[in-house]
Structure 1
Amino acid sequence: MRVVTCGETARARWGPALADAALPVDDLPALPARAEVDPLLDALPDDARLVVAGDDAALAAVLVRLLRRERLALAVGVLPAADSAAAAVWGLPTDVEAALALARTGTARPVPLVRDDHGGVVAGRHEVGPFHGAVYCEDRLVAEGDAAGMVVTPDPDAGVAVTVTGPRRLGGLRAGRVAAHAGRAVQLGCRPGVTVVRDGLAADRPVTRRSWYRHIEDWRLVRP
């Protein structure tokens, strides 16, 4: 079992418990990149367990490297942030004691890996603000026209889940209608461009199209 703590916030949250447990820990940046992650992966045997302590963006960054290095069969435990969307999706505890116990002794199970067409993955959720356009889940039209926003998350069964919230109604007095679907792929097309927030991090530039889809291979998450 190898633990990586990603960023000072994660080290402050998990450091004392990890020290008490006498576990080997590597300190990585808040958003670890190829240069930090790949040497760790190269040193791990196939039957090892990698535990990631950090926010959803850190987990996504590690999953990208597992994908690139063809190490998705590696068991991955998660020590999440208190507000982690990934923890909510997969039913992971955010309490320090419970999360550490699960990461150490839980069973790794295959779960869908959701990719996007800009080289990223969805650890917890990707979000898009107000837009005018169309959203499809596979060949089903989920929403068309003005929308207040949309959220894409992994779906434990189908692969990808999308929720689109329509504009507020009755002069803003009522929330917009919500449409939700799940499948193997989601596509967004809109004008003008919109910013995609990927696991809490805003994209560098607006986009007019974005796709999310289930990868052909699952990753192995230590989960209840």
Structure 2
Amino acid sequence: MSGLVLACGNAADSLKGDADVRIERVPERPGKKEVDPLLEPALVVAGTDADLAAVVLRLLRKDLLASTTVGFVPTERDSAFAALWGLPTDPATALELAVTGEDRPVPLVRDDAGGVLVARGVIPGVRGVGYCDDTVALRGEARSLEVRPGPEGLVVTVTQGRFRRRRTTFSGRAFQLGCDPVVPVSDGVPYPRSMERWTWYRHTQDLRLVRPRDS
């Protein structure tokens, strides 16, 4: 694994790499201008889940997912991505794994608005009809919908009930929703406007994530 670390926002302040680790500071949720000149066959992203999603999006746009390994050093203890794939949240431990570990592919989820979802998508307070593949996952109201990557592609959790909450879980390759206007939230970032239709689906290529063997 390469020693190139893209440190997003203030992430570099918590990193203590050795001489073989090259740290490049980039903004929070970096874009094309900041990321593309630094792309290499092996990358480490230090930052939030949203920062990771921003870098992964550039790999997708450049058609480099298959040829790039990605390590992740979370700067938030409650990182949904770290919890999902069993990554350490201590910066030193996470950096050691990211630089020296081996990649094991994990599903990458996309949306039909051109974005990616690496860890957790949420649609709160929704009324509509939603399908997970060919199965009706929602018809009516829900307190929230949550989507995360899973073995088949994604896992959808529908939470209903005003006072007594009921949760139903579905697994598949895609989730499609038609509803009253809502604002989807991907990896903690709200979409810029409300939507009446939204789709999350498994990308044809996985993310080559460096992670523990037992995760």
Same fold, judged at TM 0.5 (above): yes
Match for residue 185 of structure 1 among 174, 187, 209: 174
CA contact (8 A) 2:8 2:25 kept: yes
Match for residue 130 of structure 2 among 135, 138, 158: 135
The residue identity in structure 2 corresponding to 1:209 is R
RMSD: 1.2
CA shift, 1:97, in A, is 2.5
Match for residue 3 of structure 1 among 2, 5, 14: 5
CA contact (8 A) 1:114 1:214 kept: yes
User: For the residues of structure 1 that align with 2:172 and 2:149, how far apart are their CA atoms?
Assistant: 10
CA distance 1:21–1:133, shift in 2 (3 Å): farther
User: For the residues of structure 1 that align with 2:124 and 2:101, how far apart are their CA atoms?
Assistant: 36
- Aligned-partner SS, 2:116: coil
User: For the residues of structure 1 that align with 2:207 and 2:83, how far apart are their CA atoms?
Assistant: 17
- Aligned-partner SS, 2:71: strand
Aligned residues: percent identity? Answer: 50
- Aligned-partner SS, 1:148: strand
User: For the residues of structure 1 that align with 2:101 and 2:147, how far apart are their CA atoms?
Assistant: 27
TM-score, length basis structure 1: 0.89
Aligned to 1:23: 21
Q: Could you give the per-residue CA deviations for residues 160-207 of structure 1, whole angstroms, max 9, x where no partner exists?
A: 111110032xxx2x2x2101111110111111x001111111111110
CA contact (8 A) 1:111 1:219 kept: yes
Q: Does 1:13 align with 2:14?
A: yes
CA contact (8 A) 1:143 1:179 kept: no
Q: Which has the higher helix share?
A: 1
CA contact (8 A) 1:110 1:218 kept: yes
Structure 1 unaligned spans of 5+: none
Alignment of 1:9-158 (within 5 A): 10-14=11-15, 17-18=16-17, 20=18, 23-41=21-39, 44=40, 48-73=41-66, 74-80=68-74, 81-155=76-150, 157-158=151-152
Q: How many residues align?
A: 208
Q: Which moved more, 1:90-99 or 1:49-58?
A: 90-99
TM-score, length basis structure 2: 0.93
Match for residue 159 of structure 1 among 148, 153, 156: 153
Q: Does 1:194 align with 2:182?
A: yes
CA shift, 1:22, in A, is 5.0
Q: Which moved more, 1:89-98 or 1:30-39?
A: 89-98
CA contact (8 A) 2:12 2:23 kept: no
- Aligned-partner SS, 1:130: strand
User: For the residues of structure 1 that align with 2:84 and 2:26, how far apart are their CA atoms?
Assistant: 25
CA shift, 1:102, in A, is 0.9
The residue identity in structure 2 corresponding to 1:188 is L
CA shift, 1:21, in A, is 5.6
- The list of structure 1 runs, each at least 4 consecutive aligned residues, that deviate by more than 2 angstroms after superposition, is 11-14
Aligned to 1:217: 205
The residue identity in structure 2 corresponding to 1:141 is V
User: For the residues of structure 1 that align with 2:102 and 2:14, how far apart are their CA atoms?
Assistant: 24
